Chain A
Amino acid sequence: MAKTIIDAHNVSKTFNPKTVPVHAVQNVHLHIEEGEFIALVGPSGSGKSTLLNMMGGLDEPTAGTVFIDGVEITKLSENKLIDFRLHNIGFVFQSFNLIPVLTAKENVGFVLQLQHMSKKEREKRVLNLLKEVGLEDKINSKPGELSGGQQQRVAVARALASKPKIILADEPTANLDSKAAANLLDIMAKLNKEEKITFLFSTHDQRVIKKARRVITLVDGKIDSDVEQSPT
């Protein structure tokens, strides 16, 4: 049996509980195992981002518990949580993923540096990662000099760098044209297949959804369906 990466129990999130309560996520149970490749879908406002943020320890659930690799992150202090994210979770956001003043190489190396990896090891790993996302010729470009798709690929490489348990991606392809989106998804799928990296990503894009092996649909903050599929 595969290792459990995420185990979320009865997770709810209510915004503005005192004034105009918004029940963004309600009583969600989520179980994710190592090596899964999951799309989180649902209409706008259904709570996808909120759920992802809670799984990644960026947001605190109003109720419920989240375990990541056996650690109850809902109990960690703020600084411990930041440290936990550094070592265990990779993030890819819709945009503003990269540090604008650093080159692609430096951006990917940054998290490794935060993990105190030696310079030599770092160089090697960064080059490998950028090669995997097909950007070996852009290592010294700053984010501003890269296309949106290239920036997202650097972000994936950066998310991978720290060898996280899981990569959480909130609409990583939302700002990309369909070709770049497909390319990014192919890279993610390849990493998932070859390196057993676990991915949980939210998306609106039908073509992206098709690449997933499991699709979780959220409606009004609740899981509406959770199905396995064979990717195309």
Chain B
Amino acid sequence: MLFQIAWRNIWRNASRSLVVISSIIIGIWAGIFILSFSWGLYKNNINESVYRQLSHIQIHHPTFGYEKDSKFTIQNTDAILKQFQSDGRIASVSARVIATGMITSPTTASGVNIYGIHPPSEITQIALNQSIKKGTYFESGKDNAILIGEKLAKKLKIKLKSKVVLTFTNVNTDIVSAAFRVGGIYRSKNSSLDEVNVYVPQNHLRELLELKPSESNEIAILIKDELQLEAIKNDCKTLVSNAKIEDWKELSPELSLIIESFNLYTYIISGLILLALTFGIINTMLMSVLERIRELGMLMAIGLNKRKIFIMIMLETMYLTVLGCPIGLLFGWLTVSVLGKIGINISMFSEGLASYGFSSMIYPELDQEKYIIIVTMCLVTAILSAIYPAYKALQLNPSEAIRKI
């Protein structure tokens, strides 16, 4: 009976109840959209990093580390590459020779990371050829071709075909200088890296560094299915002895921090939205309780005890949330599903975002875990916002309430 009365009560002022329900729907829908959009942005960033820069797994000499000292190498990389290439779970693999040094133009100089690459490998590995803005991707076949970022070119005030000099120390700690000619200028989605990464043919750099023919500093692996990451990492350990094997999360702690912090972000966003909704709901329900003081007094007079009054008001509030939440969730889920497929073009803002590593198409996405968080928080809201108005109704004194008749 209380269920029925409560249900009918919320439709006494249908427009008011609908306003509350719609605000819940819109709030939750907006919350889901914001979260899925942000996650889409993050995902974009992560993919950008993994497929354009980090790869899933990187293998280095244990002490190669941050300073990128060229003398810490992995031996026999040709054989290792061959092994990986025959593994069906691996999408692409490449070996790199790396040095840090200076690039000098006629006007100025800048610190750079010099990557000695095998050009065809990096097409599948980081799609480097797609970033070429001017010139070609090592089509000249010349040993002294160098690929530099647009930003660096601007800084050095050089153009295509300009001559630059790279200076670095070789493995015997001798300082080496070599002249290169700009064969291509690239622009990636991560403009901060464009300023420091330059690419040259691998064999030439290896010679300049005085490394042995099959020695490399880095092996990068792209895998087909992320779920196999751990297994493949383990296989790497047996295949390459004495090496540090790291996946993209270890390589880029910022990325894993982003992922970790996203849960917190979910709580905060949905918490804020639901808090705002809670106030709206409480306000409306208090209004509806105050309007019905006499009626509630009458109910107490004829024998409805306080527990039942409390339950009745609780139910009324909870009906509102329980109606609004699933619809909001459904709308949110539908929006995410649709936009997750067609994507949102944010090229209007992408100029700025590109420098943070974002591309201009965002595919909103939200995993189950986040939905569970949102549903839980909805339930908490439903209960919390129901308690106060019901509690207020209990404060009524029936004789005073009735006197107002």
A residues neighboring B (CB under 8 Å):
49, 53, 56, 58-59, 78-79, 82-83, 85-87, 91, 93-97, 99-102, 110-111, 113-114, 158-159, 162
A85 touches B1 (CB 8 A): no
A59 touches B399 (CB 8 A): yes
B298 at the interface (CB under 8 A from A): yes
Dominant SS among interface residues on chain B: helix
Which of the segments B4-12, B267-275, B361-369 contacts the partner chain? B4-12
**Known contacts A86-B302, A110-B302, A111-B303, then 18 further A-B pairs from the complex at CB < 8 Å, ordered by chain A residue:** A49-B403, A56-B301, A58-B301, A58-B398, A59-B399, A78-B306, A82-B303, A82-B305, A85-B302, A85-B303, A91-B302, A94-B405, A96-B295, A96-B298, A99-B5, A101-B5, A111-B302, A158-B302
Give the shortest distance, in Å, between B22 (CB) and chain A (any CB): 22
Nearest residue in B to A79 (C-beta to C-beta)? Answer: B305
Q: Which of B1-53 contact A (CB under 8 A)?
A: 1, 5, 8-9, 11-12
Specify which chain B residues have a CB less than 8 angstroms from the CB of A94 in the assembled complex.
Answer: 405
B residues neighboring A (CB under 8 Å):
1, 5, 8-9, 11-12, 294-295, 298-308, 398-399, 402-403, 405
Nearest residue in B to A168 (C-beta to C-beta)? Answer: B301
Give the shortest distance, in Å, between A144 (CB) and chain B (any CB): 10
Pairs A–B under 8 Å by Cβ, sample size 30: A49-B403, A53-B399, A56-B301, A58-B398, A58-B399, A78-B306, A79-B306, A79-B307, A82-B303, A82-B306, A85-B303, A91-B301, A93-B298, A93-B301, A93-B402, A94-B405, A96-B402, A97-B298, A99-B295, A99-B299, A101-B5, A101-B12, A102-B5, A102-B8, A111-B303, A113-B1, A114-B303, A114-B304, A158-B302, A159-B302
Specify which chain A residues have a CB less than 8 angstroms from the CB of B5 in the assembled complex.
Answer: 99, 101-102
B301 touches A162 (CB 8 A): no
Nearest residue in A to B398 (C-beta to C-beta)? Answer: A58
Nearest residue in B to A90 (C-beta to C-beta)? Answer: B302
B300 touches A82 (CB 8 A): yes
Task: Given A58-B402, A59-B399, answer yes or no on A101-B9 (Cβ-Cβ < 8 Å).
Answer: yes
Task: Given A82-B304, A85-B301, A86-B303, answer yes or no on A96-B1 (Cβ-Cβ < 8 Å).
Answer: no
Nearest residue in A to B293 (C-beta to C-beta)? Answer: A96
B301 touches A96 (CB 8 A): no
Complex CA distance for A166 and B295, rounded to whole angstroms: 22
Nearest residue in A to B306 (C-beta to C-beta)? Answer: A79
Give the shortest distance, in Å, between B38 (CB) and chain A (any CB): 44
Task: Given A96-B294, A102-B8, answer yes or no on A87-B303 (Cβ-Cβ < 8 Å).
Answer: yes
Specify which chain B residues have a CB less than 8 angstroms from the CB of A49 in the assembled complex.
Answer: 403
Give the shortest distance, in Å, between B332 (CB) and chain A (any CB): 32
Complex CA distance for A107 and B296, rounded to whole angstroms: 14
Specify which chain A residues have a CB less than 8 angstroms from the CB of B402 in the assembled complex.
Answer: 53, 58, 93, 96
Complex CA distance for A162 and B11, rounded to whole angstroms: 29
Specify which chain A residues have a CB less than 8 angstroms from the CB of B305 in the assembled complex.
Answer: 79, 82-83
Complex CA distance for A232 and B8, rounded to whole angstroms: 44
Complex CA distance for A49 and B399, rounded to whole angstroms: 10
Which of A86, A93, A94, A96 counts the most B-chain CB atoms under 10 A from its CB? A96
Nearest residue in A to B295 (C-beta to C-beta)? Answer: A96
Nearest residue in B to A158 (C-beta to C-beta)? Answer: B302
Complex CA distance for A94 and B306, rounded to whole angstroms: 23
Specify which chain B residues have a CB less than 8 angstroms from the CB of A79 in the assembled complex.
Answer: 305-307
A96 touches B9 (CB 8 A): no
Complex CA distance for A95 and B306, rounded to whole angstroms: 22
Specify which chain B residues have a CB less than 8 angstroms from the CB of A110 in the assembled complex.
Answer: 1, 302
